Structure 1
Amino acid sequence: MKRTIFQLKFLTPALIAGAQPKTVGQIQATAELREASIRGLLRWWHRLLGYDRASEERIYGAAAGSSGHASGVLIRILDAPTPIVEPQSAHDLDLHPQGGIVEYLAFNLRWDKGKANKEDVRRSALPAGTEFHILLQAGRLTEADWTTLLRTMEVFSWLGSLGTRSRRCFGALTLLSKDGQACQRPTLWNSILGNQNVEARIVPGKEAREWRDLFRQAGSWLREQRGIVANKNLLFGTAGSRQRIASTILLRPDWVDDRFTLLAIGRPTDLNQTSLATLTYEPLPESSDL
Structure 2
Amino acid sequence: MKEIRLSCEVITPLFMGGANMEPEIRTQSINGVVRWWFRTLGGSKEEEKKLFGWTGQESKKGAVKFVVYKEPYNSRDIQSCLDSSKNGLNYLAFSLKRQNRQCLYVGYKFDLRIIFSTILEEKEKKKFLGALWCAFYLGNFGSRARRGFGSIMVREIPGDFDNFIS
Structure that is richer in helix per residue: 2
CA distance in 2, matches of 1:47, 1:16: 22
User: Does 2:47 match 1:55?
Assistant: yes
Partner of 1:137: 115
Partner of 1:171: 150
Partner of 1:68: 59
CA distance in 2, matches of 1:9, 1:181: 20
The answer for unaligned runs of 5 or more in structure 1 is 22-28, 112-120, 184-288
- TM-superposed CA distance for 1:155, in Å, is 2.0
Match of 2:36 among 44, 57, 63: 44
Alignment of 1:1-290 (within 5 A): 2-21=2-21, 29=22, 31-63=23-55, 65-77=56-68, 79-85=69-75, 87-89=76-78, 91-94=79-82, 99=87, 101-103=89-91, 105-111=92-98, 121-138=99-116, 139-180=118-159
Count of matched residue pairs = 162
CA distance in 2, matches of 1:123, 1:55: 37
Alignment deviations for residues 147-169 of structure 1 (CA, whole Å, 9 cap, x no partner): 11122112222222222211222
- Give the residue type in structure 2 aligned to 1:171: G
Query: Percent identity of the aligned residues?
Result: 26
Instruction: Find the structure with the greater CA-based Rg.
Output: 1
The answer for unaligned runs of 5 or more in structure 2 is none
Alpha-carbon spacing, 1:95–1:58, altered in 2? closer, same or farther (3 Å): same
CA RMSD for the aligned pairs? 2.6
SS in 1 for 2:54: coil
Provide the TM-score with structure 1 as the length reference: 0.50
CA distance in 1, matches of 2:38, 2:132: 9
Contact map agreement 2:16 2:26 (CA 8 A) in 1:
no
Contact map agreement 1:8 1:157 (CA 8 A) in 2:
no
Contact map agreement 2:141 2:151 (CA 8 A) in 1:
yes
CA distance in 2, matches of 1:15, 1:133: 18
Higher RCO (C-alpha under 8 Å, 6+ residues apart): 2
CA distance in 1, matches of 2:12, 2:32: 21
- TM-superposed CA distance for 1:52, in Å, is 1.6
SS in 2 for 1:8: strand
Partner of 1:284: none
